[in-house]
Every structure is written in C-alpha cells, then in structure tokens.
Chains A and B, each alone.
Chain A
Amino acid sequence: MKRSPVMKTALAVAMTLAAVTAQAQQAAPVPAVDPAATKALEAMSTYLRSLKTFSVEAATATDDVLEDGQVSTNTAKTVIVVQMPSRLFAETSSDRQSRSYVYDGKTFTLYARRAGYYATVPAPATLRELADALSDKYGIELPLTDLFLWGAPGWGTGEITAAVDLGPAEVAGTTCQHYAFRQPGADWQIWIQKGDFPLPRRLVITTTDDDAKPRHMVNYTWNLAPSVNDAAFTFTAPKGANKIVLATVSQ
C-alpha cells in the first residue's frame, strides 16, 4: 500500500523526534562525583573525629619504584594508640625497618629500635598540628596519618574529581561499602564499615603521577576501647640507645 505524503511526513517527524530524544538521553551526563560517595566519606570522617581514645592495628603493603620503573613491595605491621587531641604512640615493623613514634603533647620522639637511635624535638599542642609540622619540616609522615586528617579542620572533598560507589564488599568478615575516588596525583579506594561504626577497614592508594602506578594498601583492625595510661606516651630511652638529630628538609 502506498503511503500518503502526509503519512510520510508524520513518520519522518516521529523518527526525528525519537532520534533527538534518544540523543538527549544519551547526552545527559552521569555525574563524575557521586554525591552518595562523598557523603559516605564525610560521615566516616565525622565519626572518626568523634573518637577520643582508640587503637588501630594495620597491615600495610607499600610499593617503591626502582630507577627502571620496576616496583618493589614492602610490607609492614603498624600499631597506633591515640588519645585525642594530643597523645600518640605508634610502632611500625616493616620488612626492613622498625620505628617508634611517641608524642605526649609537648615533645615528639622518633626511635629506630634496631639501630638504637632516637631523636626528640619539641612538638605543637595537637596531633593534627604535629602531623603537619613533621611532614613539612622533617619529611616524616606519621603512620596511618589519614586517620587524623580525615574530618580535621580544613579538610574537605573539594579536590576529588571522581567518586563512585562500587557496592558492598566484605573485609575481614565485616560488610563494608566499597568506594573509589580520584584526585590529582592519586586514585584511591576505601572500604567503609556498614552500620553504626562507619570506620575505614581498608584503604588502597594508587599513585597516578608515576608511570609505574605504585600502590599503598592498608587493612585496619580497630579497638575503640583500649586501656591506656599516660606512661604509654612517654618516651624513655632504652639502655644503649643513642640520641641523634632529625634533619630538616627543604621545601
């Protein structure tokens, strides 16, 4: 049956409309930063900053990049005991290094246990200021430093350029929600415990400004009610340990 010219035109218009609608639907962008993901990160950070006394055990794996771009992975065990705002005791034991970090609100000591060297410097009044001062002046990053920096004054999600919710996943038998974030220089993933205690249970940071894309991975085990006394945060030089200095690094 031959189509009338009116029918032909109507058909053409209908098809064009359909095409335009389809294109409009395709063009509607999926937001690069899923607001649900950044909200979850903010909720976790708020919860972290509400904790007064806590202890964390962490198992980490960190990549070094060799001159030719190959990667060398170093694993470590870290224990930190924190009393906000101004007490920290931390011990790390890696494949190759053992270090202790002691802060009592007045001084900070770095102790190399096997080498028998320690160095003590005056410290600012809070843990967060200490974290900043140590990395700026001495190039020292406190172990698990993100646990003090998430949600701290001045922290925000403004640098994040992509955020996605990857769904539920189990870490050490606990159900978590798995998120991936992107910011300049790093892609990172975090597994946040579901339920009343939105704690970070795993963190993976991929450095994106090196072709080798070296990774740092942390699995956290939490104790929200450790028993501590002030002696834990006081450094006493063991017999035979030698006092040395911290070198200041240039900006």
Chain B
Amino acid sequence: MSRTIRASVSLVLAALLCGPSVALVQAADRNRAKTSVNNKSKNVNRNENRNTNINRNKNVNVNSNRNVNRDVDIDIDRDIDIDVDRHGCCYHDHDGWGVAAAVATTAVVTAAVVGTRVNTLPAGCTVVYANGITYQQCGTVYYQPQFVGTTTTYVVVNSPY
C-alpha cells in the first residue's frame, strides 16, 4: 500500500519537475536558423533525427497507463533518484536526459531493431566498453552513443562482444 503511494508521489514529482505534460515538451523541429553566412555546407542545422521525438510522443500517450500500474514500484522511483537530481529535466536536444519519457520506452526496448536511433535511453542501462568505445547496455539491447552533428544520440547495435 505504502509502495503505491510512494510511486504516485514520485509520478507527481516527475510531472511537476518536467512541466505540465511530457507530450508538450517533446515538440519536434522542422528547421533551425542558419548560424553562418559563409558556411555553405548542406549538412549543418539539418533536422536530423528529430522525428524520433514524434514517435516517442505517441508511445508516452499510449503506454503510460499500462506502465504506471505495472512497473511503477521498480522503475519510477529509481529513475527519479538517479536522473532528476543529476541532470534536471527533459527536452529533445538534451544529452539523453528525459525521466518521465523513460517510463514509456521500457515497453519499446524489447522490439528495438539494429540501426534504430533514439535521443534518450530507456531505463536501466549500464555503461560498457569494447575496443575503447563506449556502449550502453539496456537489458539485452546495446546502444552506441554517437554525436550526430553536436547532438548526442544512441543507435541500436549488435552486441560488440
């Protein structure tokens, strides 16, 4: 009984810290102002990988109820203690922060296909190293952190071992 109350309080805390609604925060971008008059490269300021936010938005709305009731005791408390204190809150361009969004993506991880690119890791990942390169192991899924432009993203890869 008390665990459920504690989880509910944590959820409220997450909502308060992350703003009125996760759906509002995860706005996708179509473009960015040019930041140079002399740089003619087509590659900068491109809207790379912003679309993953649209998908994540959908997942949060669809799955949140299910996850709240089932996973709340294990995941939410832990995420808030680790992530919110250290990083603050969520936005698509941040270095992999998103707390409330992490709850929903738990349901998505098991279906991740190699090559899928996300901006935020799901819950429960540990850093592992292979060949001097960093990976994030989240359950059975391996993500390789990469800079795309100057944005940190994670790509699902085969196990590096």
Contacts and interface: CB of A to CB of B under 8 A. Distances in A.
Interface of A: 60, 62-67, 69, 72, 96-97, 99, 110, 112, 114-115, 117, 119, 131-132, 135-136, 138-141, 145-146, 149-150, 155, 181, 183, 185-186, 188, 203, 205-207, 210, 212, 214-216, 242-247, 249, 251
B37 A243 contact: no
A65 B34 contact: no
A64 B149 CA distance: 15
A131 B39 CA distance: 9
Interface in B48-85: 48, 54
A67 B27 contact: yes
B150 interface: yes
Contacts of A99: 150
A66 B30 contact: yes
Contacts of B146: 119, 244-247
Interface residues of B, number: 43
A215 B33 contact: yes
B46 to A, nearest CB: 6
B145 interface: yes
A146 B30 contact: no
Contact of B133 (A67, A206, A245): A245
Interface string B127-153: 101001110000000001111111111
Nearest to B44: A141
